[in-house]
Amino acid sequence: MKSKFRIKKNTKYKRPVFRLEPFLRTEKSTCNTTALFDCGKRTGTLLYSVLIAVTAISFVFAMLNLFFRLHPRNLVVGLVELTTTVLTLITILYFRKTNNIKVTSTITVLLLTTTLFIFLVLSRGDNYALYWICVYPPVVYFLFERKKANLFVGLFCLYVFALMITQLFIQVNISSIINIAGATAGLTFVIRYFETAKTDAINALEEKNEELEKLIVTDHLTGIYNRLKLDDVLNFELNKALADTYTFSIIVADIDNFKRINDIFGHLTGDSVLIDVANILKNSCRKTDIVGRWGGEEFIIICTQTDKAKAKQLCEKLIRVISEHEYTINERITMSFGVTEFLNGDSVDSLIMRADKALYSAKDKGKCLVEAF
């Protein structure tokens, strides 16, 4: 029985962007939500913005304090701000060279924290210096994950309140403390709310994306891999074998006398048999085997890192399990198998054709058999 399904000749393979790793039965999505909600790009843009802003602001204030506000305390503040300018420039160069968002985020927050710590102490609240604490929570919550951001913002607020309580700031009283505490708490609450909303949105997108990827590569009737996934894995395995001393085998399996089952019991019963057979194949194969429905009553099993002899042994096991299973139609169901192994110079077409010939040979010899070519 000749298969109606064929792959176009593999001239130049381009792996689909949604390809799942073929070696695991339950895969983790490789096409994550970054493609839909590019968090890395957004965080990188924010990092650049923060670093450039800190560089520009610290440089302007450094120039003001060093050359225009001629006071010993202002000179110290100016030196701190000039140091911040240099360090942020170094951080920008590091980020441009490595593109390491995690490390750069940590350096940025630590740099901002240290600078504000020193600045608040040296300025002693002059010229509304305390207003700069409003910058801290948004930056930290956008650059850090929630738990770490809570820790940094909490410690920073405790530091600021400790400065006020110990009266290091000029003209600070109970009303000032209440106003500053209330405004800071309100700002932190709003930032946390939007950060939580963003995280929930990303998680929802990830879940939907994983569901979509699963639907793309899953046969809607049997729940195992579909033709699209099998095409992908076949090309992947073939390219791997062509590039290295690596081999794999494929098995083409066909339910014997399936047309008779449909004619006598109906197509719904035939669908039930397909589902049962698919589950048996999936549960009886090894974890490294890729099982999928090729079309109709035909299935393909891709045996990674497996030669023809071991693939044939697997088929003999499957013949026994399938024929001994009790089906709803109370009839014996059998399958025939064709096996082939990768040979040098093979294409996907040649592999499938050789496995098909082995399957036809098994059918001609009486069915419920396995043949290997």
157-167 per-position pLDDT tens digit: 788 777 777 75
pLDDT for the residue numbered 187: 67
How far CA 77 is from CA of 112, 115, 229, 323, in Å, comes to 15, 10, 63, 85
- Known catalytic residue: 297? yes
Q: How far is the C-alpha of 231 from the C-alpha of 259, rounded, in Å? A: 26
Name the pLDDT band for 12 (thresholds 50, 70, 90).
Answer: very low
Q: Would you state the pLDDT for residue 171?
A: 54
* Integer Cα distance of 370 and 336 in angstroms: 6
**Which is the catalytic residue, given 195, 213, 297, 371?**
297
Lookup result for tokens 């058999």? 369
Which sign does the torsion angle of CA 49, 55, 59, 65 carry? positive
**Surface-to-core class of residue 165, CB atoms within 10 Å of its CB (0-12 exposed, 13-18 middle, 19+ buried):** exposed
> What letters, b where the CB count within 10 A reaches 16 and e where it falls short, cover 33-60?
beeebeeeeebbebbeebbeebbebbbe
pLDDT of res. 128: 59
Lowest mean pLDDT among 8-12, 195-199, 310-314: 8-12
- The domain spans of the chain are 33-212, 227-372
- DSSP tag of 304: E
Share of the chain above pLDDT 90, in %: 13
Over residues 37-52, the mean pLDDT reads: 71
pLDDT band at 1 (very low <50, low <70, confident <90, very high): very low
Does residue 43 surpass a pLDDT of 80?
no
CATH 3.40.50.300 fits domain 227-372: no
Range 67-73 contact pairs with CB under 8 angstroms and sequence separation of 24 or more: 73/122
pTM (whole model) above 0.75:
no
Cα–Cα distance between 346 and 343 in angstroms, integer? Answer: 6
Backbone angles phi, psi at 198, to 5 degrees: -65, -45
pLDDT digits (tens, 9 = 90+) for 236-263: 888 888 888 888 999 999 999 888 888 8
Q: How far apart are CA 350 and CA 356, in angstroms?
A: 10
